[in-house]
Chains A and B, each alone.
Chain A
């Protein structure tokens, strides 16, 4: 899932200062699962904003609306009847959703209420960790399911580096060294000989380095 954090409240309040009729958007997908921007978090933020503005003597009207997805035209278009009744929209969807809503309603500002952070997993209730950076050329077959691009702070392909100590990364002593995990996994699977294969330099043009990416499936186009 895409993981996000809610922006600091002061930042949100500052962005909304000039407005008194606000559309607060949520998303039923990733940000619901990571407990940042689903219907529940939308209702909590709306309540907080109303309390703050009421206290300041500048009451606001907030419409809470959580779309099934903010990254699909068919759902974004469903905002049409509501969005024009509000001066501004602020969204708790990920960065994709925030931009996509803005692209559909050019005369409205769509402000971000969250900082989108990473593609991750829910390691346990209330704990999310990063697993993928969408580099566009997966190597999980070579590293037996542990991503060196994401989980190694340096994204190196022939590790570990000198900063690996006691299985931890020098960047943070709570972060496991990805290459230690990979070597342990080679051992566990009786495939340690794979560690001897030197990986050539990665072609990063499939990643962000090659610019914004696009995927087209001609058979699906209408």
Chain B
């Protein structure tokens, strides 16, 4: 399965999406990311039982914080996939890239 997805996506590996904290997502935006997408296991299939469910709640909370700070909630998303869904991962990566490209660059990105 030689699938391709946009090269501008940087993958950060974590043992479980439950490891991803609110501050990690905010730091990505501070570091100049234009968008952040969490990809967790399918709901109900978490090896740690509730990691992906907790991540989803955090993503919802981060959306509020991003709205407050003027970055915009559309720049963060969460998807649930199994490791057998490479095809869907590539699709999501393309969709997310297109969506973020339409929104334009991160308004808090440092210039120069």
Contacts and interface: CB of A to CB of B under 8 A. Distances in A.
B69 interface: yes
Q: Helix, strand, loop or mixed for chain A's interface?
A: helix
B10 interface: no
Interface stretch (A41-49, A167-175, A204-212): A41-49
Interface stretch (A19-27, A50-58, A68-76, A140-148): A50-58
A44 B66 CA distance: 11
Interface string A166-195: 000000000000000000000000000000
Interface in B13-44: 21-23, 26-27, 29-30
A52 B69 contact: yes
Contacts of B69: 9, 48-49, 51-52, 55
Given A9-B68, A55-B69, A55-B71, A48 B108 contact: no
What band does the interface of chain B fall in when counting residues whose beta carbon is under 8 Å from A?
10 to 19
A51 B30 contact: yes
A59 B109 CA distance: 11
A14 B110 CA distance: 22
B59 to A, nearest CB: 14
B6 interface: no
A51 B23 contact: no
B86 interface: no
Contact of A47 (B26, B70, B109, B110): B26
B69 to A, nearest CB: 4
Interface string A1-28: 0000000011000000000000000000
A82 B21 CA distance: 28
Contacts of B26: 44, 47-48, 51
What band does the interface of chain A fall in when counting residues whose beta carbon is under 8 Å from B?
10 to 19
A201 B22 CA distance: 50
A80 interface: no
Given A54-B110, A55-B108, A47 B23 contact: yes
Q: Which of A43, A44, A54 has the most CB of B within 10 A?
A: A54
Given A9-B68, A44-B65, A51 B22 contact: no
A44 B29 CA distance: 12
A202 interface: no
A40 interface: yes
Contacts of B71: 51, 55
A50 to B, nearest CB: 6
Contacts of B108: 50-52, 54-55
8 contacts: A40-B21, A44-B23, A47-B27, A47-B30, A51-B26, A52-B70, A54-B108, A54-B109
Closest 9 CB pairs of A and B: A47-B26, A9-B68, A54-B108, A52-B69, A51-B69, A55-B108, A55-B107, A51-B108, A48-B69
Interface of A: 9-10, 40, 43-44, 47-52, 54-56, 59
